[in-house]
């Protein structure tokens, strides 16, 4: 019996979940689906500058798990850019953090956004 899936901790959902060419056909073969946890690895590693190990700690999974998620996410980004496909971000095995910053660390976008909005920074 396989181990149960470990939920990946995600700090925020994307503000927009559809990206791609403006003139894209709307048929199903022109869509790619990226999971929310794949999006989170791209955000943490490429945008926030985390290492894979730091990202794994933030998401509460093993580094090897993050590595696999990250590889798949980058393939999907590349396919969207190179082949002009629409990228939809939805689904996946994740749980949203509570936004309080408890155990979230420096990469918690929800916590940081709330702090900046509350303090008008």
pTM for this prediction: 0.80
Q: Annotate 72-92 with DSSP letters as a single string.
A: HHHHHHHHHHHHT-EEEE---
Q: pLDDT, tens digit, for every residue of 4-18?
A: 777 898 988 898 999
Q: pLDDT, tens digit, for every residue of 45-60?
A: 999 999 999 999 999 9
Please name which of 112, 14, 10, 13 lies closest in space to residue 61, comparing C-alpha atoms. Answer: 10
């Amino acid at each position: 019996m396989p181990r149960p899936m470990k939920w990946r901790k995600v700090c925020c959902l994307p503000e927009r979940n559809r990206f791609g060419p403006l003139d894209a056909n709307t048929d199903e073969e022109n869509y790619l689906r990226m999971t929310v946890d794949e999006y989170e690895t791209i955000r943490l590693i490429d945008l926030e500058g985390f290492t894979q190990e730091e990202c794994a700690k933030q998401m509460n999974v093993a580094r090897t798990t993050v590595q696999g998620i990250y590889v798949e996410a980058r393939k999907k980004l590349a396919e969207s850019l190179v082949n002009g496909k629409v990228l939809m971000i939805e689904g996946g095995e994740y749980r949203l953090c509570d936004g309080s910053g408890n155990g979230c660390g420096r990469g918690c976008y929800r916590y940081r956004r709330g702090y900046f909005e509350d303090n008008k920074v």
